[in-house]
Amino acid sequence: MKPDNEFEQLLPPRQRAVLILRDVLDWPAADTARMLGMTVTAVNSALRRARARLEQAGPAADEVAEPASRRDRDVADRYAAAFQDADVAALVALMRADVTAEMPPMREWFRGPGDVGRFLATRVLTGPGRFTLIPVEANGQPAFGTYLRGEDGEWVAHAIQVLGIAAGDAPGRVTRISMFLDVGLFPAFGLPLTLPAVPAARTERTPCCSP
């Protein structure tokens, strides 16, 4: 797959969302259509166009990495810790200069550490302890079940996050953050829709993608 800056230029938002849902998360066409408000025919057509455009563009060495490598697990662990602590500065420090963040099925997306960091700071990570992240994998890529703390302290399913992590010239940098705002994804990863309430002061973290 092309580096993320070219990936963004090559594919319009709807094709990007279809490609990630079908080829990264391995979703069926019918479920992808339901999530994106499309027909199955339109989903299959968008997927064919997206694959064709990426194939024409050719592969890129800096996106070729062994899945769930030790480096990727370390980056994912640091990402999860910073996200749970609402430490936006630490998250930004993990990002490559052309990082992108998107939230399928929403068409809104952000590019660059500054814009992504501001989005997270103002609309997501408004205080530490609001979220807890459970590590999973999506076709070999680090991913997380993201739970939001309710008023009663119970954790409620919120989104599945999938990280793109660079190889090549920028190893260990987060290149893409895809937040899928559909709790229907959680059972596919073997995750419950709620987690028991825990003391608000701190939650124990589980290392990402441990073998």
pLDDT band at 111 (very low <50, low <70, confident <90, very high): very high
pLDDT band at 209 (very low <50, low <70, confident <90, very high): low
Per-residue burial over 180-200, b = 16 or more CB atoms within 10 Å of its CB, e = otherwise? bebbebbeebebeeebeeeee
CA-to-CA distance for 176 and 194, rounded, in angstroms?
26
For residue 76, the tally of other CB atoms under 10 A from its CB is 26
| CATH class of the domain at 64-195 | alpha beta
Per residue, the 3-state secondary structure of 183-200, as one string, reads HHHHHHHCCCCEECCCCC
Rounded average pLDDT over 121-143: 92
pLDDT of residue 199: 55
DSSP 184: G
pLDDT digits (tens, 9 = 90+) for 58-73: 444 344 344 457 888 8
pLDDT digits (tens, 9 = 90+) for 14-54: 787 888 788 877 788 988 888 788 899 999 998 988 888 87
Rounded average pLDDT over 168-174: 71
CA-to-CA distance for 76 and 42, rounded, in angstroms?
34
Choose between 167 and 84: higher pLDDT: 84
Strand partners, 164: 176
Domain boundaries along the sequence of the chain: 64-195
Rounded average pLDDT over 154-167: 92
Q: What is the DSSP string of 74-120?
A: HHHHHHHHHHHTT-HHHHHHTEEEEEEEE-TTS--EEESHHHHHHHI
Cis ω before 67 (30° cut-off from 0): no
